[in-house]
Structure 1
């Protein structure tokens, strides 16, 4: 990708982010996005099929950057340190994550996809011990619970430290896992 293409895509993504702060994705059209980005429609259509295509690329970019950031974390088999690093990353990029994790459109699967990626990394790096046939159910529980806690943390503007939230998420997940495992012994 050349510099001009990178700049064009960056301008479109920044324009989309500004518009998403004002309205739901379903109400954003290519014409107003191009006006916001200072580009013409033909330039937009050289790169994207529509606004949702651009949003998908933006979401994938955020997930990719999050995974890249987390891959550099030295967790040393410490789930809490890994979760805290993820939360620190969210807090450091608060405006973007506030927008993307609290977006009100029902079509967005981004929050769950992001949390699922993080949990998959924890599983790959730290080898969570869960029965294979129940793994999807357990992950659904962990993803939804963790996401709800993080969304509440964001809504409250990060008033609780990332360490406390990491400990909360880990403790609730660990307690649930311990209860599950003890019932199945």
Structure 2
């Protein structure tokens, strides 16, 4: 049974790697199952044992990324429950995770294969809770969803720019920069 599980994991890894490589040059809509299987060295019948389409492969890759971020924020000795863990620490963990999975994030962010990916990522309950802690207390006059969307999409744009830079700042520096930008903007609104 373990050998079968290893075989399934290997098959899925080959398909995911193949899809990621193909998405660098073509749209997911232009990738056929036949091409994906040929590129991965997998038989089409084997593909259909695990997936119904190339979109299901992508969905599984996204799910793994989102679960990885959640694990990163919760497994570090329950970092989010630890009062000494700061927003900067948690943002640094997220950016470090992105840096460790850079090629995958480049594909997800740049190829626009799933326009809903930013929402899936930034509306993870664990991330949303962290961002809500950053909200100014005096935002009663403004719908808090406006603040949240501003933070989320502004932060996503900054991360997208960082992901695509040749000479990227260290994750710790990027986290500091993002929080400094956010705090400066909040100070302007007072």
| TM-score normalised by L of structure 2 | 0.79
Q: Deviations over 1:100-136 (max 9, x none)?
A: 222244x432233223326325258x58566799343
CA–CA separation in structure 1 for the residues paired with 2:148 and 2:164: 24
Q: Secondary structure at the residue paired with 2:143?
A: helix
Q: Shift of residue 169 of structure 1?
A: 1.4
Among 23, 26, 41, the alignment partner of 1:23 is 26
User: What does residue 5 of structure 1 align with?
Assistant: 8
- The 1:86/1:72 distance shift into structure 2, 3 A limit, reads same
Q: Paired residues, what number?
A: 179
The answer to whether residue 115 in structure 2 is matched with residue 108 in structure 1 is yes
Aligned partners of 1:164, 1:95: CA distance in 2, in Å?
A: 20
The CA deviation at 1:179 is 4.6
The partner residue of 1:71 within 68, 71, 74 is 74
Which of 42, 56, 61 in structure 2 is aligned with 1:58? 61
Partner of 2:182: 173
1:42 and 2:45 aligned: yes
Alpha-carbon spacing, 1:112–1:4, altered in 2? closer, same or farther (3 Å): same
Separation in structure 1 between the aligned mates of residue 48 and residue 168 of structure 2, nearest angstrom: 42
Indicate the larger mover: 1-10 or 161-170: 1-10
Separation in 1, partners of 2:11, 2:174: 38
Q: CA RMSD in A?
A: 2.7
Where does residue 33 of structure 1 map in the other structure?
36
Shift of 1:174: 2.7
Return 95-104 or 60-69, whichever deviates more: 95-104
Separation in 2 of the partners of 1:175 and 1:65? Answer: 30
- Aligned-partner SS, 1:82: helix
Gaps of 5+ in 2: none
Any idea what SS the aligned residue of 2:36 has?
helix
Unaligned runs of 5+ in 1: none
Conserved? CA contact 2:131–2:148, under 8 Å: no
| Separation in 1, partners of 2:42, 2:86 | 47
Q: Distance in 2 between matches of 1:158 and 1:111?
A: 23
Contact 1:100 1:111 in 2 (8 A): no
1:154 aligns with 2:163: yes
Q: Which piece of structure 1 moves more, 132-141 or 165-174?
A: 132-141
